[in-house]
């Protein structure tokens, strides 16, 4: 996750991280606009700390993943392929240029 705007929340996150050791935090604001940064942070961490893992599953908190079904599907692969990406592909979709939208994508 990113850094919360509230210093009290950051102290609570640090305490939880010390207690459980399961928080990965980047030095950027925790916001929807920074989801790409969060994903890149995860990928860097996985490469550094889980290099031997044959697969990596990334999902948001508002997404349901049928983990047993995914595991069954992945078990059919003979070793992890060098490049495999599973997900939903949106074909012929233009970027959302409405700055009021949660899904806004800037021109630059």
Report whether 56 contacts 48 (CB < 8 A): no
pLDDT of residue 105: 85
Counting Cα atoms < 13 Å in the Cβ hemisphere of 68 gives 0
pLDDT of residue 80: 62
Per-residue pLDDT of 46-72, as tens digits, reads: 999 999 888 888 888 888 889 999 899
């Amino acid at each position: 996750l990113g850094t919360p705007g509230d210093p009290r929340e950051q102290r609570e996150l640090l305490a939880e991280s010390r207690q459980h050791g399961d928080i990965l935090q980047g030095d950027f604001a925790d916001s929807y606009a920074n989801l790409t940064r969060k994903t890149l942070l995860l990928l860097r961490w996985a490469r550094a700390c889980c290099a031997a893992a044959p697969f990596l599953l990334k999902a948001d908190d508002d997404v349901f993943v049928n983990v047993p079904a995914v595991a069954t599907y992945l078990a059919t692969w003979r070793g992890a392929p060098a490049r495999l990406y599973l997900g939903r592909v949106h074909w012929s979709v233009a970027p959302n240029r409405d700055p009021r939208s949660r899904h806004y994508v800037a021109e630059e």
